[in-house]
Structure 1
């Protein structure tokens, strides 16, 4: 499985810097967001928190398969344009390829498209790939007027050709890899899908020899909706409303409770030993540590780290907050948490410093 930070298309989609809201799951998967709500952070969240990274890997592999198909069709179209500039009328395959037009270099998503044009392009591409599958040899065409395509056309399925980096065999291998890795019963990384979906995909690939992207549409939509419903809300709460991860939060809870115990114990000892108020000012230190760490645990947010623009993605590893809306949201929450911390800390310190001492 390739690093999810790598693009699935030849050009990386540009993040939307003017977005004045939290991103959607589709925007995250399409690499249109920045840390801490980018695809890499979501991948880490699915791996470490949800323990269901296989679903995301399946979605990414299907997206990669879609990009592979686009690349194959694009190269095939270019070879036809070079080989047959006058568009041979006898070549049905040539006309089908040319009808696709230039495919967009966008990230592959579920069965949702921004425009009708995108939907039509992918439908045409899948239809062409199914038609192309029936031509076992590009050298042979049915009909009385058999025309032999020019050499660049025949090289379209040659993976060793320097002009073509994707062969039809590569597409077939990609589809089978997805099937045998994620969908077959007992697969290495089997994901849980309704039995009807798994059976339909298996039959389409193994019995009918399909490898076009549409064969995975239903499974991909199901996985997308499952992630959107079960994982994505928790991801946004953790990364857009906080900047700490659960292991760190547990550690802060323990440190905070220990610091508060030490602060209360020290305060009572100093009071009952009738120490001066100047001496009792030392309790400010444990009270401040305890309140700060407990507030960080309660709000899943380290306010100082948020104000300087950092978010934690693995224990003690931090990335800079680059998503503008999330940065502003975390700064507001950080100021609120700091205000709560200061008020509680000040109240406790004033109480235990100014209370009259009494030696027992």
Structure 2
């Protein structure tokens, strides 16, 4: 988690509710409802991680545009004579493109709309970067998603972020913005593309025409309709299941299926053994041993039914992937899972006791 996000994350932890999708995508949540958990859920359970990757890549494109304008603004300031640096006209356009020296807004970015308007008006007329630039990363293979999720290119406090690197090698050019926009179009939107996502044809046509048409746009605003559509699709189709899986439970489907199989086998074995002991008229002290397999069976069946392992939840752990457990850090989720765990444990003990008493105290009869 980037250092600049810590205050917002700490403030968000005080909420007495589940987070919404925007908070998850904005990295204002922690495990088990963090962005990494949502990414795994979209990949392993929804099988639609391309939608989330598209949303993240468009957000990364926005960060690249902000970085480009920030560098452009600094270059103009450095090239401006000392007597002209105080001129409002010399930096008004760039300041209002989202990279002015304001510290009161969201990290100095005044407006994404102004940023897009400036990039459209710039039209590739400015070149302030050397040959080595971010274009080598954009036009090549897509970087691993985990590195993007841990990188905050808009963080003024992160010494490793591009915004703080004074090296010219990290200065994006206008060609890099266009390469990034084209890569998003050719990777996700065009029919038959490598990771095609389904969006309305009207939105696809507008984006394609803006990038490949006469305008030759690369500003982030051109992706807004597609980004909004993808966000609404994830919010409607995937996010409720994610909250149910991670906010009300702490097991993944593979683990739940294994527990169900073990529970049913244990229950069958315990019931078969219990009937044998009854029909052999064994004493109750001997029949008490069936408590063990019945307890295992009922516990595993309950964990499958509730998607919750109450013992793991009470000690504060949730399952990311099969047999990979991590601590629960969202206070509201921890409180909710603890309450559900106590309830499910009570029901488990009640059912287990009833079944064991039935097979232990029933009168035996030798056949």
Same fold per superposition (TM over 0.5): yes
**Counterpart among 277, 286, 303 of residue 310 in structure 2:** 303
Give the unaligned 5+ runs of structure 1: 1-5, 109-116, 139-153
Q: Answer yes or no: is 1:125 the counterpart of 2:131.
A: no
Distance 1:204 1:174 in 2: 14
Residue number in structure 1 paired with 2:153:
none
Residue number in structure 2 paired with 1:344:
351
Q: Displacement, 1:70?
A: 1.0
Q: Return closer, same or farther for 1:268/1:243 CA change in 2, 3 Å cut-off.
A: same
RMSD, matched Cα: 2.6
Which residues of 2 match residues 183-262 of structure 1 at below 5 A? 183-207=189-213, 208-262=215-269
Residue number in structure 2 paired with 1:39:
35
Q: Return closer, same or farther for 1:157/1:21 CA change in 2, 3 Å cut-off.
A: farther
TM-score (norm. length: structure 2): 0.83
Q: Displacement, 1:26?
A: 0.3
**Counterpart among 16, 26, 32 of residue 30 in structure 1:** 26
Which residues of 2 match residues 38-187 of structure 1 at below 5 A? 38-84=34-80, 85-87=82-84, 94-99=91-96, 100=98, 101-102=100-101, 121-133=111-123, 135=125, 138=126, 155=128, 159=132, 162-163=167-168, 165-187=171-193
Residue number in structure 2 paired with 1:357:
364
Q: What SS class does the counterpart of residue 224 from structure 1 fall into?
A: helix
Q: Displacement, 1:92?
A: 6.5
Kept after mapping to 1: 8 A contact 2:120/2:219: yes
Question: 1:330-357 CA deviation, whole Å, 9 max, x = no partner?
Answer: 1111111111110000111112111221
Q: What SS class does the counterpart of residue 128 from structure 2 fall into?
A: helix
Give the unaligned 5+ runs of structure 2: 134-165
Distance 1:156 1:11 in 2: 27
Moved more, 84-93 or 346-355: 84-93
Q: What SS class does the counterpart of residue 311 from structure 1 fall into?
A: strand
TM-score (norm. length: structure 1): 0.84
Aligned length: 327
Q: Displacement, 1:166?
A: 2.0
Q: What SS class does the counterpart of residue 250 from structure 2 fall into?
A: coil
Which residues of 2 match residues 323-338 of structure 1 at below 5 A? 323-338=330-345
Q: Displacement, 1:186?
A: 1.0
